[in-house]
Amino acid sequence: MRKLMINITKILITVVLTILAFKYARGIRGNNAVGGEVFTPFFCWGALYLAPKMFRELKY
């Protein structure tokens, strides 16, 4: 149950940050053109899922 809650939290963080990145980019550019904000989910995935695994492996 704890692992499920952690994964749900990670997914929610990713969704919220992606939405905020698109809103911020739309406000700056003034249009819906695609830019760097498209990579926000990939950055979040790397930071929230891969980084902890890499740190755990480095500890041993």
* Domain range summary for the chain, segments of one domain joined by +: 2-59
Q: Look at residue 24 in the predicted model and tell me its pLDDT.
A: 85
pLDDT of residue 58: 85
Position 12 scores a pLDDT of 93
Does the predicted TM-score (pTM) go above 0.75?
no
Secondary structure letter of residue 38 according to DSSP: G
- DSSP code at position 35: -
Question: pLDDT by residue for the chain (60 residues), tens digit each?
Answer: 898 998 899 999 999 988 888 888 888 777 766 777 788 888 888 888 888 888 888 876
Q: What's the CA gap between 39 and 47, in Å, rounded?
A: 12
What would the two tokens of residue 34 be? Answer: 């695609």
Between the CA of residue 10 and those of 14, 32, 34, 45, what are the distances in Å? 6, 26, 24, 8
The CA distance from 28 to 1, in Å, is: 41
